[in-house]
Structure 1
């Protein structure tokens, strides 16, 4: 089992591909991706002085997106008809895990997590031909970046309580409101904005729009920094922004349903991020325990460190097992809303616990800004809050157990 978890003698490529849980198609897809990450991207990061605490200039990010798009990786996780590999959800989770195991800082950007195709893949079913040409294809080609704008100061866990309004006017809508803590918002060109079009219809009165963030009246606030890092989040401010009729996605009143349609898939994909970083934290901790000397021997020979590593490996095995089981059930056509909530809850709570223990194994080195352990610690802490807090996941699970009560 040791080699399936981590082997201190492995190369970066071998480490990334170790204990790969995807099928044959995923294995074929992941190997060139890992080669790109460990060679081209690693060189790009070195040449540009990018570490885990670097605020990467937007022009550098765009260069990475275009490098990725040129190699076909930017749309890798989409269906084949959209230029992707057509992988199952379980295989996508395996590929995402492996990408993070390379330890390359910008690996999520290569797969378009914060800017690109994974954010708009499901919209090809809802967008009309003109919208595909004007918005979706430029995102696929990395000419433009996109963000999803739902969260507001008063509408976090209670997403249906958004206040941003889109009032119907001749030829379009007038958009007013503020979206808060939008990931990818600082460098996005377009936003998928959910806004109230019928205040009397509550959740059924919310519509979705493509909004050009360069429009008159649209602005960004980036005067803060979130725990997970610099430069990627922003508040989006809409002050009498004109949105043409042609930018309405689907029909009026269907925006909230459209936004929530992929919630189970999204939770599993977030779990693959959590488990990918947790696996990297464990790998680095084993390497640290094997190489760090204290009192004339490696710290890995001390039982206290051995027990910490054993707990980390056990939590990791449980989280990954849950995630891949739920993903395969989803691929088989099952409704996994409850299982996805369980996975998000377990992976968020225990992924952070793995990161916390990794920092303990690393000691002072783990506290250093610019290093992977300190970054993973910060990043995994955020997942207990973002994309549905742990408490919200518990509500979903309990509601299922009690037959929808409450």
Structure 2
């Protein structure tokens, strides 16, 4: 953790530049690997350092505060790498774990244009061929797709969601449509699979209890890190901006609004830490807690960032200000599966006792 912390000032200093160019900070990802972050995140049972949920969540939050695009790519990279090592543990798991530890790049290619948030339940059918199956279709928002050595892909095999490792080849096409509002440096591209072969030996089992749940554990931390950075930027601006002879911090409306968002942010942090602690203890309650943590973190991040724009005024609206970038990045968290709308429905039904249809 200390070695990663040493990298964060450089990550933060370059974040705006990479965002402006919509360019992946490959060197920063390589520095994370060299600092041991990948090894730490890989579970011990598949040859890694076995970082616990609380430590993993704190690492992602730290990264997201410095550069949320780096945090997003790294979380998805770890999610795909760990999943392939665990889901194929009885076959090629040691190979994928070794590649992950060697610094190869992994990416999640699960979300389909027609399946919405239900990325673990693909709608696209894979068709049997010699040596495996073929997939024809698209996967969207594949963070770090252009630098990935391996993809985690799913498709329906005989009507059952099935997971595969895929080595990108000429049949995997990056569709050049990337022109996003926030998290620009993730370059989370749309991939077109043109009869891509899903090889039998690269097939894995379905995710299950006991697997390291990287994505549910990591996504709330991305929004929390963005919110932390947005609040810091808001405070710095309010302290430096003088209105009628006094810093903006003396304005009562600013004090009241900051009290409101800071309290909500503290509550989101506490809920998230509770979910991570439950996950470390192996408690089934951890998943619903992390679901609520993502929901709250997504909404609070947007509230903090929006207040930053209000407090920043015209100067906060300028492109050179970090305030506008925090707002754009905060909005992206609400769209990551599961989106706040989907989570609200699930949480509401659970609280109200509405049985799923």
Could you tell me the TM-score, scaled by structure 2's length? Answer: 0.87
Structure 2 equivalent of residue 33 of structure 1? 4
Structure 1 equivalent of residue 310 of structure 2? 360
**3-state SS, counterpart of residue 164 of structure 2:** strand
Compared with structure 1, are the counterparts of its residues 240 and 97 closer, same or farther at alpha carbon in structure 2 (3 Å cutoff)? closer
Separation (CA, whole Å) in 1 of partners of 2:318 and 2:56: 32
Structure 2 equivalent of residue 325 of structure 1? 274
**Which one of the candidate residues 138, 143, 146 is aligned to 1:186?**
146
Task: Specify every segment of 5 or more residues in structure 1 that has no aligned partner in the other structure, as ranges.
Answer: 1-29, 200-204
1:155, CA displacement in angstroms?
A: 0.4
1:189, CA displacement in angstroms?
A: 2.8
**Which one of the candidate residues 130, 134, 141 is aligned to 1:174?**
134
Cα contact 2:271–2:293 (8 A) shared by 1: yes
**3-state SS, counterpart of residue 165 of structure 1:** coil
Structure 2 equivalent of residue 78 of structure 1? 42
**Which one of the candidate residues 57, 60, 76 is aligned to 1:96?**
60
**Which one of the candidate residues 196, 202, 207 is aligned to 1:241?**
196
1:292, CA displacement in angstroms?
A: 0.9
Structure 2 equivalent of residue 349 of structure 1? 299
1:194, CA displacement in angstroms?
A: 0.7
Separation (CA, whole Å) in 2 of partners of 1:207 and 1:66: 31
Cα contact 2:134–2:195 (8 A) shared by 1: yes
Cα contact 1:274–1:348 (8 A) shared by 2: yes
1:127, CA displacement in angstroms?
A: 1.4
Separation (CA, whole Å) in 2 of partners of 1:76 and 1:190: 20
CA RMSD of aligned residues (A): 2.9
Structure 2 equivalent of residue 26 of structure 1? none
Structure 2 equivalent of residue 285 of structure 1? 234
Cα contact 1:100–1:277 (8 A) shared by 2: yes
1:38, CA displacement in angstroms?
A: 2.5
Task: Specify every segment of 5 or more residues in structure 2 that has no aligned partner in the other structure, as ranges.
Answer: none
Cα contact 2:110–2:153 (8 A) shared by 1: yes
Number of equivalences: 354
Given the alignment of the two structures, is residue 372 of structure 1 paired with residue 293 of structure 2, yes or no? no
1:259, CA displacement in angstroms?
A: 11
Compared with structure 1, are the counterparts of its residues 344 and 122 closer, same or farther at alpha carbon in structure 2 (3 Å cutoff)? same
1:391, CA displacement in angstroms?
A: 2.2
Query: Deviations along 1:334-374, whole A, 9 cap, x unmatched?
Result: 21232222212111112211111112112223223354322
1:239, CA displacement in angstroms?
A: 1.4
Could you tell me the TM-score, scaled by structure 1's length? Answer: 0.78
1:394, CA displacement in angstroms?
A: 2.1
1:258, CA displacement in angstroms?
A: 5.5
Compared with structure 1, are the counterparts of its residues 360 and 132 closer, same or farther at alpha carbon in structure 2 (3 Å cutoff)? same
Separation (CA, whole Å) in 2 of partners of 1:262 and 1:104: 24
Separation (CA, whole Å) in 2 of partners of 1:89 and 1:272: 11
Compared with structure 1, are the counterparts of its residues 358 and 238 closer, same or farther at alpha carbon in structure 2 (3 Å cutoff)? same
1:377, CA displacement in angstroms?
A: 0.9
Structure with the larger RCO, 1 or 2 (CA within 8 Å, 6+ apart) = 2
**3-state SS, counterpart of residue 37 of structure 2:** coil
Structure 1 equivalent of residue 184 of structure 2? 230
Separation (CA, whole Å) in 2 of partners of 1:71 and 1:188: 20
Cα contact 1:289–1:361 (8 A) shared by 2: yes
Compared with structure 1, are the counterparts of its residues 52 and 305 closer, same or farther at alpha carbon in structure 2 (3 Å cutoff)? farther
Separation (CA, whole Å) in 2 of partners of 1:104 and 1:162: 31
Structure 2 equivalent of residue 63 of structure 1? 27
Cα contact 2:60–2:75 (8 A) shared by 1: no
Mapping 1:122-201, distance limit 5 Å? 122-128=83-89, 131-132=92-93, 134-142=95-103, 144-159=104-119, 162-199=122-159
1:388, CA displacement in angstroms?
A: 0.7
